[in-house]
Amino acid sequence: MSALRADPGAAAARHTDTPVILIANGKGGVGKTLLMMGLCAHTAMAHGRALGVDVDPLRIAYRITQELHDPGYDIVHESDPRALSGIRKLRDYDMIFVDAPGSLEGRDVLRELLRRVSYVIIPSDHEPTTRVATLDTVDLIAPTGVPYRVLLNNLDPSRGVGHVKKAREWLDKKELPYFRTLVRRYVAWPTSLDEGRTITQWRGKNSANARQDISAVHTELLLDLAKRRVS
């Protein structure tokens, strides 16, 4: 896959490793794939160069991105995480986002990925089953020393601020690091894809709110990376 081969000519322009952000949770249905695509699209909108790496056997992010009109970012599918050994040395991208399989049945896959990434985002909708899977995911990540944060993602806006407050209280109680930003569930996300556009390109009902959410996550991520000196 040419997108996973380092460009020697670009190395002179970048002297530090490219941030590789893994998006993982042991439960499916938490908006992991849309989040990865949204972060790639926002990086492109901000005049950055983004690569999405779809490691999920279903290849959903890869297949959907192939149908979009000029998404602005590159995407590849790679089922074997061992093939990503040199991914942090890719000098022609500003950010790389990796969509992990949506199940911890492939724990060995996640362990291999954790050897190759610089940061992990754990999306969670704070439903009971998701909370269990989130803790299991943290249990796999924490011993590796790879920095991570939970992101309240795919939250139903109709549940109000009380749901968000309870979610943050639970995260505090479990002493889990998390983003102050949250990503709300809007029909704009799937509708934009139906229209062949990324969430940052599409203009329609609630699209501005969705763009605001993903922009805020992206900004908070960059600030945390800078603070940790992860590059």
- Amino acid present at 60: I
> pTM for this structure?
0.91
pLDDT tens digit sequence for 55-66: 988 899 999 999
Mean pLDDT of the chain: 89
Evaluate whether 209 touches 184 at the Cβ level (below 8 Å): yes
Match 């209280």 to its residue by tokens: 169
- Segment 34-62 shows an average pLDDT of 95
> What is the model's pLDDT at position 59?
93
Residue 225 class from Cβ within 10 Å (0-12 exposed, 13-18 middle, 19+ buried)?
middle
pLDDT tens digit sequence for 5-30: 544 444 444 446 899 999 999 888 89
C-alpha torsion sign, points 52, 42, 18, 5: positive
DSSP for 21-58 reads EEE--SSSSSSHHHHHHHHHHHHHHTT--EEEEE-STT
Q: Which of 49, 28, 48, 51 is nearest to 98 (CA)?
A: 51
> What is the model's pLDDT at position 161?
94
pLDDT tens digit sequence for 141-190: 999 999 999 999 999 999 999 999 999 999 999 999 999 999 999 999 99
Instruction: Give the residues across from 75 on adjacent strands.
Output: 52
pLDDT band at 91 (very low <50, low <70, confident <90, very high): confident
